[in-house]
Amino acid sequence: MNQAEHRVPVLIVGGSLVGLSLSLFLGRHGVPHTLVERHAATSIHPRGRGNNVRTMELFRVAGIEPRIKEAASLLADNHGILQTSSLVGDAGEWLLKEIDPGGGLARFSPSGWCLCSQNDLEPVLLESARELGGDLRYSTELVSFEQDAEGVTALVRHRDTGQEQTIRADYLVAADGPRSPVRERLGIGQTGPGELFSNVSLTFRSKLLADVVGDRRFIVCYLTDPEGDGALLPVDNKENWVFHAPWHPERGETLEDFTDERCARHIRHAVGVPDLDVEITGKASWHAAERVADRYSAGRVFLAGDSAHEMSPTGAFGSNTGIQDAHNLAWKLSAVLDGWAGPGLLETYDAERRPVAQATSARASGRSVEHSHPGFTPEPGIGGGGRKGGILNVALGYRYPQGAVVGADSATPVVPEEMRLTGGPGSRAPHMWLRRSAQRLSTLDLYERSMVLLSDERGTTDWHAAARRVAGERSVRLDAYRIGTGSEAELAPEDGADWAQVHDVTADGAVLVRPDGFVAWRSRGPVRDPEATLREAMEEVLRLP
């Protein structure tokens, strides 16, 4: 290739939810990057609306949670999942009446689920990423790339002008979708059951449908009449709606068969109102599959989002898993590029995220079976396992038995049956409310740009001083906080809570948390040499020589 015309630490290929999220997270870390997206603009179709609690925690720490809630305000009161043969009358079964019945989620998180469709969320991410200095280029496609020991050289082309440019990057991240050209170019295979089912997503207007729905504020309604099955989703609870209709290309059915007349007739039959006003405004086909890439990286190229894993849309696990891929990778790229972690840290991306995708994709297929998703007739063995642990375990309770962690139980399932966030290595650090002067914050708000060591002001082991010495000696980003009510404490627990008990340590213990909010290491009690102990843990986690 010709000599590079543009130099940047990270090149992102793909500007949908995952690519934009990676841009946002890299921007928060101060990592210069360029993103190229072949489409001319962000998504215009209302899809991928379910942002789970973990994803919203990440957006909270990134400072954009209020913007997303504003963009999602029209669906703020929609909570349930309904299954019924018709919307006429009160028939049907609530598969899930409330996302968070009784408000129990507040014990685990400062955030909650949020319904924000992709066409509303992507502009928020785009604007926020550009505010942080991201170089985001639409109508620009990757033509080719080559890598060597020092970096990646890519050729990109503007689709309107034909102008080409060579970009030299330290690392390339492919967030270029389920048919990822980058993954194929790398020769990385995929494992899993494969294709599950296909749907056509129809956007339509109906002014009378709101009266039929009444006060049933569902997230999605699965309509089960064999002659008119489908999934109905509100866009504004008034006159804009989405309907997922089964599509069977394996039977020779083509997209051209989905005429406006056929689609309107199908919706009317599914709803149960023969004369319902239906104006079809858009169509988009999609295929549900369960596949996970055999590797998440090759050299200096990484896969994220749909390029790394495909899963059934039931439960919105796919987009959330992808956004969490981006968050995991962002802090590791930042640490390596800034020199406070060894290159081996990037190898933990595959070790951590691929098992999560494998467990989550199986759970997503299971949800599709449980919800009788339109068009899905599962093969034996797909979607088995029942309601193991519930949805919160998958969204928030997953853990990293291996990777950039020390002391994690490698025999622990990636998605455990019990919801226990008590500070164990490899799990998301516990949430508790703290005070810093007059400011109220969650422990999760402490974790973003550095490693963080928490210790107790009452303890006789001086973890705080040890952290300062290790940070200076090893030139790593490490912040240390003492928690308590005395003059030595930087943070005070709210309402008399005991941070040590929450994190399952004694007053002489300490907890080391990564920038992504996962526990890297923990000492439950005192040690003879806290500085040496902490240094050894840091070196192992960050792969320092």
> Could you please report the per-residue DSSP string of 419-456?
---SS-TTBBPPP-EEEETTEEEEGGGG-SSSEEEEEE
Sort strands 164-174 and 6-13 into parallel, antiparallel or unpaired.
parallel
CA distance 263 to 201: 10
pLDDT computed for residue 133 by the predictor: 97
Structure tokens at 523: 């000492």
CA distance 184 to 20: 22
Render pLDDT for 109-160 as a digit per residue (tens, 0 to 9). Answer: 999 999 998 999 999 999 999 999 999 999 999 999 999 999 999 999 999 9
Q: Of the candidates 119, 112, 111, which has an alpha carbon nearest to the alpha carbon of residue 48?
A: 119
Q: Of the candidates 50, 384, 323, which has an alpha carbon nearest to the alpha carbon of residue 193?
A: 384
What is the 3-class SS of 115-157, one letter each residue?
Answer: ECCHHHHHHHHHHHHHHCCCEEEECEEEEEEEECCCCEEEEEE
CATH 3.30.9.10 residue ranges of the chain are 192-289
Structure tokens at 284: 């988009």
Structure tokens at 59: 């957006």
The CATH T-level fold of domain 433-542 is Glutaredoxin (3.40.30)
DSSP structural state of residue 3: P
**What is residue 519's three-state secondary structure?**
strand
Residues of the chain with pLDDT under 70: 1-4, 367-390
Query: Which stretches does DSSP call E strand in 457-516?
Result: 478-483, 492-493, 510-513
Helical axes 17-28 vs 118-131, angle rounded to 10°: 30
CATH 3.50.50.60 residue ranges of the chain are 6-75+112-187+292-395
Render pLDDT for 166-210 as a digit per residue (tens, 0 to 9). Answer: 999 999 999 999 999 999 999 999 999 988 888 999 999 999 999
Q: Of the candidates 485, 509, 494, 397, which has an alpha carbon nearest to the alpha carbon of residue 442?
A: 494
CATH 3.40.30.120 residue ranges of the chain are 433-542
Q: Which CATH class is domain 192-289?
A: alpha beta
DSSP structural state of residue 158: E
Structure tokens at 184: 């194929």
pLDDT computed for residue 372 by the predictor: 57
Those residues with Cβ within 8 angstroms of residue 50's Cβ, 6 or more apart along the chain or in another chain: 113, 115, 219, 315, 316, 319, 320
Q: Of the candidates 147, 169, 168, 143, which has an alpha carbon nearest to the alpha carbon of residue 156?
A: 143
Domain boundaries 6-75+112-187+292-395, corresponding CATH code: 3.50.50.60
Q: Of the candidates 477, 295, 510, which has an alpha carbon nearest to the alpha carbon of residue 406?
A: 510
What's the one-letter identity of residue 184? E
pTM above 0.85, yes or no: yes
